[in-house]
Structure 1
Amino acid sequence: MILGVLKEPSPETRVSLHPEAVKNLVAAGNKVQIEKGAGEASFLSDELYKEAGAEIHERSAVLESSEMIFQIMPLSESERKGLTEGKFVIGVYQPLVAKELMTEVASQGITLFSMDSIPRITRAQSMDVLSSMSTVAGYKAVLLAASQLPRFFPMLMTAAGTIAPAKVLVIGAGVAGLQAVATAKRLGAVVEAFDTRPSVKEQVESLGGKFVEVPGAVEDKAAGGYAVEQSEEYKKKQSEMLEKSIVKSDVVITTALIPGRKAPILITKGMLQQMKPGAVVVDLAAANGGNCEGTVNEQTVVVEGVTIIGSSTLPSTMPEDATKMYSKNVQNFLKLLLKEDKINLNFEDEIIKGTCITHEGSIVYQPLLK
């Protein structure tokens, strides 16, 4: 199989395959082509890829001759139209959000695998790109908050008196939220966490955080570990309970997302008005509208004296390790998709079926069809 890895458009700094993955893929009988300079932003030189067995080419040559193309960010419209029918593309396409784009991709005869659609099952954990990148985002969110907060995170006993520790609230205790809890705790903050899923209470507490529990939440095991839409009555109780924690916090990190829907507003302007001057909100749901009123994606704004950092690209700020993690996820997925350097489109496999979005001119991704 001829595999082609493209350089990502700015400001993305990651690259789809690390030289370690390239070495293994070449050893398995595949030919790997890398666009010139594809790994530079991740501190991976062309020489490292050559040593791993890859060939270095210009972008046009990689697009033309590769049977399977890797680029994390979606290909441009002109590049998609230039692909011959039947080519395979692997990236992160957010199919439940970019529905029109999926229709276009299908009409062009491209077989698309979107790594953010890997089923959240035990067997697929080693391929779960969302979990890997959420780990990076949760860690970096706390560091961003600490750099913006005009106070210390830990309690300090000094000759000038005692400095009280910062109070951090994490909303959403998924992978990003739990990593944020762990990181804030390591920095010495007093940490609380909220989630609509009572089942994550034990995980929060094991990391040293206090779980803010609102009784009456609905969980759905079929949601693959994601939060689900709650009743209006629950939302009202949730808002009242969260407001108490939000207004006393120095830092709030929000991670609440519902797949395929606009992010729920959890921090209103009224709450911002009651927060401490200089408080910081890091909104990791910014790309889907944000959990905080006033969030602007990829911008830092000040609303009612509160600094709001809207960021959905934090993995790109740590490209070296983020690339290693993403690449390992892709490499593990390819162990299923490629057998003896040949494509293995086994739609009986839950992982392959759940990750394939378009094939043979049609959308085949069941959640999108529904």
Structure 2
Amino acid sequence: MILGILSEKNQDKRVSLLPEQADTLIKKSVSVWIEKGAGINAFADDKVYAEKQVVLQDRNTLLSQSDLLLSIHPLSESEIGLLKPGQVIVGVFQPLFNKALMQQLAEKQITLFSLDMIPRTTRAQSMDVLSSQANIAGYRAVLLAATLFPRYFPMFMTAAGSIPPAKVLIIGAGVAGLQAIATARRLGAVVEVSDTRPAVKEEVMSLGAKFIEVEGAADASKAGGYAVEQSEEFKQRQQQRLAESVAKSDIVITTAQIPGKKAPLLITESMLNSMKPGSVIIDLAASTGGNVFGTQNNATIVHNGVTIMGNSNLAADMPWDASKLYGKNVLNFLQLLIDKEGGLHLNFEDDLVKGCCITHAGQVVHERVV
């Protein structure tokens, strides 16, 4: 079997497998090919791959001849045209937002496994690409905010006077939010946290942050750890409470997303206008519409003296560790698809294999994408 590793586009510096991870598959009799230059931005050049017996190829050859393809991001329409029927692709294709693309892959007889759809179970933790990359994004968000913010994060008491600590508001206490809390606290900031799930309060407080409580949240216990849609009444109460916190915050980091839906707008224009000039917002939900009024994905704007950075792919700015963690997630998942002889074995009786399979045998097979 030939496994192909494509290089990433759109300024994403990651690579699906690092050389030592590719070597693990080669030892299982898998032929591993990689697009020339795919690992350079992750500090793994072609020479290192070649030393591990990985074959360097051009992109078109990989697309047309690989049995199993690794691509973090979706392929273009023209690239899908080069694929051969029966190929297997593993990546993060956001199928809930790309249903037309899923249909196109199905018509091409492609089997797609999108790891952002893997069931959130204990067994799947080692394959959870969303969590491994969100952890990095939360860390990077705070560091970026610190560089954009025109003041210190920690409190300083000097002969020239005292500097108060920065006030940080983090919206969403998922993996990214929790890492952002920990990083902001390590830098000496005072941190408040808003989340619709009361169950995260204890974890937030254990990291040294204050939890903003809003009564009446919808039960998210059956949503697999994800946020759920809230009632209009709750949204109004949440906005009133958030408005108070936003007005006194120096830094706001937003991470709130609902799978398959537009990101909820949590910070309105009037809230932005209440913030002090020089304040900074990092919106990690920018790719699905953003949590902040005026957010533009992959852009930094200034609104009434407030800097707003929209970026949902901050993990790509730390390509070495991001690639290492992502590659380990992929490698763990591939163990479910590759048998002891190095051949493909698609066991749809396995709940993890079935749970993230989007297209197979000419059909869109995932119940949430159909």
* Structure 1 runs, 4 residues or longer, greater than 4 Å off: none
Letter in 2 for 1:38: A
SS in 1 for 2:335: helix
Rounded to whole Å, the distance in 2 between the matches of 1:352 and 1:298 is 32
Q: Which residue number in structure 2 is paired with residue 115 of structure 1?
A: 115
Q: Which residue number in structure 2 is paired with residue 104 of structure 1?
A: 104
Matched, 1:351 2:352: yes
Q: Which residue number in structure 1 is paired with residue 189 of structure 2?
A: 189
Q: CA contact under 8 A between 1:22 and 1:53: conserved in structure 2? A: no
Q: Which residue number in structure 1 is paired with residue 362 of structure 2?
A: 361
Q: How much has 1:51 moved relative to structure 2?
A: 2.0
Map 1:38-57 onto structure 2 (within 5 A).
38-57=38-57
Rounded to whole Å, the distance in 2 between the matches of 1:139 and 1:210 is 19
Residue by residue over 1:81-129, the C-alpha shift from the partner in whole angstroms, topping out at 9 and shown as x without a partner, is 1111101111111001111111111111110111111111110000000
Letter in 2 for 1:19: P
Q: How much has 1:65 moved relative to structure 2?
A: 2.2
Q: Which residue number in structure 2 is paired with residue 261 of structure 1?
A: 261
Matched, 1:334 2:325: no
Q: CA contact under 8 A between 1:219 and 1:227: conserved in structure 2? A: no
Map 1:160-171 onto structure 2 (within 5 A).
160-171=160-171
Q: Which residue number in structure 1 is paired with residue 10 of structure 2?
A: 10
Return the TM-score normalized by structure 2.
0.98
Letter in 1 for 2:322: A
Q: How much has 1:285 moved relative to structure 2?
A: 0.4
Q: How much has 1:52 moved relative to structure 2?
A: 2.1
SS in 1 for 2:336: helix
Q: Which residue number in structure 2 is paired with residue 316 of structure 1?
A: 316
SS in 2 for 1:267: coil
Residue by residue over 1:226-285, the C-alpha shift from the partner in whole angstroms, topping out at 9 and shown as x without a partner, is 110111111111111111111100000000000111111100000111111111110000
SS in 2 for 1:368: coil
SS in 1 for 2:368: helix
SS in 2 for 1:203: helix
Structure 2 residues not aligned, in runs of 5+: none
Q: How much has 1:338 moved relative to structure 2?
A: 1.1
Letter in 1 for 2:144: L
Q: Which residue number in structure 2 is paired with residue 288 of structure 1?
A: 288
Q: CA contact under 8 A between 1:22 and 1:54: conserved in structure 2? A: yes
Map 1:86-235 onto structure 2 (within 5 A).
86-235=86-235
Rounded to whole Å, the distance in 1 between the matches of 2:172 and 2:10 is 29
Query: Is the deviation greater in 259-268 or in 58-67?
Result: 58-67
Query: Is the deviation greater in 70-79 or in 184-193?
Result: 70-79
Q: How much has 1:221 moved relative to structure 2?
A: 2.5
Residue by residue over 1:121-160, the C-alpha shift from the partner in whole angstroms, topping out at 9 and shown as x without a partner, is 1100000000011011100000111111111000011111
Query: Is the deviation greater in 4-13 or in 195-204?
Result: 4-13
Rounded to whole Å, the distance in 1 between the matches of 2:351 and 2:304 is 48
Q: How much has 1:66 moved relative to structure 2?
A: 1.1
Q: CA contact under 8 A between 1:302 and 1:308: conserved in structure 2? A: yes
Letter in 1 for 2:353: I
SS in 2 for 1:282: strand
Residue by residue over 1:32-55, the C-alpha shift from the partner in whole angstroms, topping out at 9 and shown as x without a partner, is 011111101111011111222211
Q: How much has 1:219 moved relative to structure 2?
A: 2.0
SS in 2 for 1:90: strand
Q: How much has 1:10 moved relative to structure 2?
A: 3.4
Rounded to whole Å, the distance in 2 between the matches of 1:336 and 1:109 is 21
Rounded to whole Å, the distance in 2 between the matches of 1:317 and 1:208 is 27
- Using the aligned pairs only, state the percent identity: 57
Q: CA contact under 8 A between 1:181 and 1:191: conserved in structure 2? A: yes
Rounded to whole Å, the distance in 1 between the matches of 2:262 and 2:60 is 36
Q: CA contact under 8 A between 2:201 and 2:211: conserved in structure 1? A: yes
Q: CA contact under 8 A between 2:251 and 2:280: conserved in structure 1? A: yes
Rounded to whole Å, the distance in 2 between the matches of 1:14 and 1:142 is 21
Rounded to whole Å, the distance in 1 between the matches of 2:237 and 2:369 is 32
Return the TM-score normalized by structure 1.
0.98
Q: CA contact under 8 A between 1:155 and 1:163: conserved in structure 2? A: yes
